[in-house]
């Protein structure tokens, strides 16, 4: 009788519609379908969990959690319920609940391989390494497979990595892991494969197949396939075991033993990566300072592949180490375990010359030998040796290299590393020499000679980039630079002919001409030529129209628009970059740095949310990578994944975005190559600014905790059990803020100027210079005074009231000064030149933030003074006297609120005026004098200027709307 197919579980059929609704995002229908099913089958646990998933996805988290816990309390063991609960807990970001789920399942079904492995992976998600070790061994006892044993060993290694005590790591966890692997080696469990090979050998003869019928043949073929799979699993298992053993020995710093493992029979199993065994040997030779073996192995590998650059570096390092040690080979023995050793400059020179001679016989051109020659010259020169002449003149070698590889895009990046070998006096001559060998054709006598094909274009591009690198353009005056810009754009537009068949996702061959022209114009802009920045934007927009996927065009546009204070076009540009994963951290700051500071609050909120979503998902995603690494035995990658996750969690950008996002919530809800020095300075500045912003956030967040107190006098200093009161926390934070501000001011005294394409400066300089810092600090000190008045009462507090009154007056004066620094036109046209004032926009944003803090502090003042006023009125009524003196603090506060209201109204009127001016500007009226622009560039100029105008208009609109809400709140402050 024919074998019957798999019989489907009736519950699977019933649950299928709910799964389909959830997969299609129709969560409401999934909930309805689950309810219908539960009416008929009340004990169908999986239906309840699927309903909980639907509730979770529709925002009803509490209901979903309650329903899930109801099912989890029953400790289900059916696969559907367990998997559904796992999905739900992951979406809730509660992976620790999955461990409890499978712990219960394993107790009920102790011999289930599947549930034990799920329990192990659940522990892996939460980083419970000790429990992972126990779960791995429990799994190995049930199903004695090598991978499960190695899971337990790897969990021991992870315990050693995560251990706070390094001594404990090296004396307990790693030695135990070492003994466990050694046990496998001694029992030959890593070698057990002979019987499988024997079975395959007999089947491979094929003799048995001849006399079998069809079903018999099919059965044999299935057995062969199963054996093949088994062999592959065993092969991978051996590799995992050896790699794990190597990892343990390396971490124990037993480099000699690790080398013996790699060079021995076990090392033969290391075939998971190309040259895996050789690379591990090389690493151990370096750790042990066995330079003869290093040299011989690198030499042997270069004989196999003379284009592998990493081994050239190792070869040179080892040669010079041996020279420094005056090493000589033994008289009668071999040079080293790896063969012949080169230990002199003459041998190194001859070896490189031989590689170049061999290259001529190669079927394809190899760059490695030629670059190795230049690298050897540089090392000899650095050491002060006089033997470099034996290798030739660096200028001639680079010239020959250009003739051979100049039509490759990599030629420039290859040669830029070695241009320091040229004397500055030879730069111009070298460039002319390169230009002379490029086949350029001029149509007429006085016209620019242009390349006739893509190869000639690539060669010319390489020369132009080298000219920029060598500083030839930097020495030119303004007129010469503009002439070069025109020539580069002419070559760019001519080069577009070669890319007519390019797809939108491909770059044009001549894009670098446009980029170089833009960089020259940026130089002019930084030298004070205001019109140059508009031509930069014009050329970049033109370039982007021909190469929509060019990331360099987009990043430059983002930086320049932000420098001009126009954020509106930036969001779309960043979105079109289609940044992936870690790029949200490495380039995401370009978006989040400027959005809020330029008045685009909605875009700022969106960009911060987008960045935070990536950082929050990192925890879940990395856990999945770790689990996959366990499943496939990629143990070496597990520590790397965990280190990567920790680095992302400690990201400066993450901390900044998180802080700015919370400040933004409060605000809205209340109604490419740079120097290492610049990197360090930028990190220091960003850290200082983050500290100031973080302390500001904590101070603002602490205001609601200072509720009106009814404690007796002088009771604010202590609380029960000696715990400091909330006002002490505020005062401590205020002292920290003062210290951070002092550090920031000292830093800014250095007057650092970052390159235009370097890290963007923080908002710290503007925060200090426009008076926002002084205003905000004064407001927080006012909180302390108001609290003191609250605890002491109105009687005998004349000094405090006077201090508060003076603070109110000082605050109004400072806010008025801040407003005065916001006055002026954002865009002005003078003598045909367009000039923007983005600093005025940033000052307006700081004003809105400061007025918001003033409003929160005023609300606190109102909450303190209102009860005092009420009590005073009751006393007047009780004594029937109208002559009871009104404390001056009430008058001071009412005057302050009135002046605050007037000032805010004036700012709103100013913003309305800015809106009218910006709306009245027409793109054609913004046209520059055509001295820098060609006729075909005019349409892009209008596009660029229109984007800047629109962005400014959008910014002042959002700022105006927010200030109107603040004004409405101020009007309600009446005691």
Model confidence over 738-753: pLDDT tens digits? Answer: 888 888 888 888 877 7
Could you report how far apart the first and last alpha carbons of the chain are, in Å? Answer: 94
Instruction: Indicate the range of 306-310, 690-694, 750-754, 849-853 predicted with least confidence.
Output: 750-754
Cβ–Cβ under 8 Å, residues 588 and 595: no
**How far apart, in Å, are the Cα atoms of 166 and each of 153, 159, 284, 529?**
18, 11, 22, 59
Task: Say yes or no to pLDDT of 245 above 50.
Answer: yes
Token pair 């051996």: residue: 238
| Cα–Cα dist 40/36, whole Å | 7
Nearest CA-CA partner of 848 in 702, 694, 948, 967: 967
Q: What's the whole-number mean pLDDT along residues 218-229?
A: 41
The two most distant CA atoms of the chain are separated, in Å, by 124
Nearest CA-CA partner of 300 in 282, 320, 287: 282
pLDDT digits (tens, 9 = 90+) for 898-941: 898 899 899 888 888 888 888 877 755 555 554 455 666 677 77
pLDDT digits (tens, 9 = 90+) for 588-619: 888 887 777 777 777 778 788 878 888 888 87
Q: What is the pLDDT of residue 313?
A: 95
Task: Say yes or no to pLDDT of 18 above 60.
Answer: yes
Q: What is the pLDDT of residue 199?
A: 29
Q: What is the pLDDT of residue 351?
A: 93
Instruction: Indicate the range of 143-152, 186-195, 472-481 predicted with least confidence.
Output: 186-195
Q: What is the pLDDT of residue 482?
A: 92
Higher local confidence (pLDDT), 703 or 211: 703
Instruction: Indicate the range of 308-312, 326-330, 384-388 predicted with least confidence.
Output: 384-388
Q: What is the pLDDT of residue 196?
A: 28
pLDDT digits (tens, 9 = 90+) for 373-392: 999 999 998 888 766 667 88
pLDDT digits (tens, 9 = 90+) for 429-441: 999 999 999 998 8
The SS3 of residue 559 is helix
**How far apart, in Å, are the Cα atoms of 889 and each of 711, 854, 885?**
21, 17, 12
pLDDT digits (tens, 9 = 90+) for 662-686: 777 777 665 444 556 777 777 788 8
Instruction: Indicate the range of 131-135, 376-380, 796-800 predicted with least confidence.
Output: 796-800
Q: What is the pLDDT of residue 540?
A: 93
Q: What's the whole-number mean pLDDT along residues 319-341?
A: 86
Rg (CA), the chain: 37
Q: pTM of the entire structure?
A: 0.75
Higher local confidence (pLDDT), 568 or 115: 115
Q: What's the whole-number mean pLDDT along residues 311-329?
A: 92
Nearest CA-CA partner of 514 in 470, 558, 546, 476: 546
The secondary structure element, H or E, covering residue 626 is helix 601-631
Q: What is the pLDDT of residue 708?
A: 54
Q: What is the pLDDT of residue 685?
A: 81
Instruction: Indicate the range of 21-35, 771-785, 858-872, 901-915 predicted with least confidence.
Output: 858-872
For residue 725, what are the contacts with CB-CB under 8 A and spacing of at least 6?
716, 717, 718, 719
For residue 291, what are the contacts with CB-CB under 8 A and spacing of at least 6?
285, 318, 321, 322, 325, 327
- CB half-sphere exposure, 138, CA atoms < 13 A: 21
Across the chain, mean pLDDT equals 82
Task: Say yes or no to pLDDT of 261 above 80.
Answer: yes
Judge residue 298's burial from the number of C-beta atoms within 10 Å of its C-beta, 0-12 exposed, 13-18 middle, 19 or more buried: buried
């Amino acid at each position: 009788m024919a074998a019957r197919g798999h019989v489907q579980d009736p519950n699977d059929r019933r649950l299928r519609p709910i799964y389909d609704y959830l997969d299609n995002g129709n969560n409401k229908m999934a909930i309805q379908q689950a309810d219908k099913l539960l009416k008929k089958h009340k004990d169908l646990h999986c239906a309840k969990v699927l309903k909980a998933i639907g509730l979770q996805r529709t925002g009803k988290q509490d209901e979903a959690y309650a329903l899930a816990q109801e099912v989890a309390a029953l400790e289900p063991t059916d696969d559907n319920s367990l998997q559904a609960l796992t999905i739900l807990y992951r979406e809730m970001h509660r992976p620790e609940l999955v461990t409890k789920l499978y712990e219960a399942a394993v107790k009920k079904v102790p011999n289930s391989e599947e549930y034990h492995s799920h329990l192990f992976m659940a522990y892996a998600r939460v980083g419970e390494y000790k429990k992972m070790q126990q779960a791995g061994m429990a799994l190995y006892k049930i199903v004695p497979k090598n991978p499960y044993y190695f899971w337990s060993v790897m969990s021991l290694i992870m315990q050693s990595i995560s251990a706070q005590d390094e001594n404990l790591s090296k004396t307990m966890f790693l030695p135990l892991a070492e003994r466990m692997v050694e046990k496998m080696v001694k029992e030959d469990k890593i070698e057990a494969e002979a019987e499988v090979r024997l079975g395959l050998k007999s089947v491979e003869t094929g003799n048995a197949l001849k006399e079998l019928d069809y079903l018999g043949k099919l059965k044999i073929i299935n057995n062969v396939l199963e054996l093949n799979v088994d062999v592959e699993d065993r092969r991978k298992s051996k590799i995992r075991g050896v790699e794990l053993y190597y990892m343990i020995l390396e971490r124990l710093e037993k480099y000699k033993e690790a080398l013996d493992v790699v060079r021995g029979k076990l090392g033969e199993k290391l075939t998971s990566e190309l040259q895996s065994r050789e690379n591990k040997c090389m690493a151990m030779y370096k750790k042990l300072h066995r330079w003869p073996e290093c040299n011989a192995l690198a030499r042997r590998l270069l004989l196999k592949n003379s284009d592998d650059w990493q081994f050239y570096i190792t070869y040179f390092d080892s040669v010079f180490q041996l020279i420094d040690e005056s090493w000589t080979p033994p008289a009668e023995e071999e040079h080293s375990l790896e063969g012949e050793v080169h230990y002199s400059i003459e041998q190194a020179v001859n070896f490189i010359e031989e590689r170049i001679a061999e290259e001529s016989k190669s079927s394809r051109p190899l760059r490695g030998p030629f670059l190795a020659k230049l690298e050897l010259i540089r090392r000899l020169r650095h050491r002060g040796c006089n033997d470099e002449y034996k290798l030739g003149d660096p200028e001639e070698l680079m010239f020959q290299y250009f003739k051979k590889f100049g039509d490759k895009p990599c030629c420039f990046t290859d040669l830029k590393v070695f241009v320091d070998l040229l004397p500055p006096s030879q730069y111009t001559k070298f460039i002319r020499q390169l230009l002379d060998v490029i086949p350029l054709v001029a149509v007429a006598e006085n016209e620019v000679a242009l390349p006739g094909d893509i190869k000639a274009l690539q060669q010319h591009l390489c020369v132009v980039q080298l000219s920029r690198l060598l500083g030839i353009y930097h020495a030119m005056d303004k007129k010469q630079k503009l002439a070069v810009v025109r020539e580069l754009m002419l070559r760019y537009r001519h080069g577009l002919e070669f890319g007519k068949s390019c797809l939108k996702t491909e770059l044009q061959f001549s894009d670098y001409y446009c980029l170089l022209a833009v960089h020259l114009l940026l130089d002019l802009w930084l030298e004070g030529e205001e019109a140059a920045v508009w031509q930069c934007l014009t050329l970049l927009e033109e370039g982007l129209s021909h190469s929509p996927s060019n990331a360099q065009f987009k990043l430059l546009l983002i930086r320049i628009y932000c420098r001009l204070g126009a954020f509106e076009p930036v969001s779309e540009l960043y979105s079109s970059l289609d940044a992936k994963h870690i790029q949200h951290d490495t380039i995401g700051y370009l978006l989040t740095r400027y959005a809020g500071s330029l008045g685009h609050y909605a875009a700022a909120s969106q960009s911060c949310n987008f960045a935070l979503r990536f950082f929050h998902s990192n925890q879940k995603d990395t856990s999945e990578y770790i689990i996959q690494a366990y499943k496939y035995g990629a143990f070496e990658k597990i520590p790397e994944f965990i280190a990567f996750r920790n680095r992302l969690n400690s990201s400066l950008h993450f901390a900044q975005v998180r802080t700015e996002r919370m400040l933004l919530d409060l605000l809205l809800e209340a109604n490419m190559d740079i120097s290492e020095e610049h990197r360090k300075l930028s990190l220091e500045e960003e850290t200082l600014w983050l500290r100031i912003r973080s302390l500001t956030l904590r101070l603002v967040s602490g205001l609601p905790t200072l509720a009106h107190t009814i404690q007796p006098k002088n009771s604010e200093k202590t609380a029960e059990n000696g715990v400091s009161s909330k006002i002490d926390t505020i005062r401590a934070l205020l002292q920290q803020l003062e210290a951070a501000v002092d550090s920031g001011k000292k830093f800014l005294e250095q007057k650092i100027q970052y390159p235009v394409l370097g890290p963007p400066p923080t908002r710290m300089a503007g925060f200090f210079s426009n008076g926002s810092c002084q205003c905000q600090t004064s407001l927080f000190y006012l909180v302390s005074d108001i609290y003191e008045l609250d605890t002491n009462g109105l009687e005998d507090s004349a000094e405090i009231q006077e201090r508060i009154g003076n603070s109110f007056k000082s605050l109004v004066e400072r806010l008025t000064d801040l407003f005065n620094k916001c006055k002026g036109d954002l865009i002005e046209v003078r003598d045909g030149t367009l000039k923007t004032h983005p600093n005025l926009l940033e000052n307006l944003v700081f004003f809105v933030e400061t007025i918001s803090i003033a409003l929160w502090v005023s609300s606190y003042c109102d909450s303190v003074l209102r009860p005092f006023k009420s009590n005073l009125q009751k006393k007047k009524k009780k004594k029937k006297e109208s002559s009871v003196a009104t404390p001056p603090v009430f008058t001071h506060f009412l005057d302050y609120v009135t002046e605050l209201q007037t000032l805010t109204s004036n700012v709103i009127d100013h913003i309305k005026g800015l809106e009218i001016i910006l709306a009245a500007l027409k793109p054609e009226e913004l046209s520059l004098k055509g001295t820098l622009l060609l006729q075909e560039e005019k349409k892009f100029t209008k596009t660029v200027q229109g984007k800047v105008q629109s962005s400014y208009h959008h910014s002042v609109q959002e700022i105006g709307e927010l200030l109107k809400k603040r004004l409405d709140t101020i009007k309600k402050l009446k005691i």
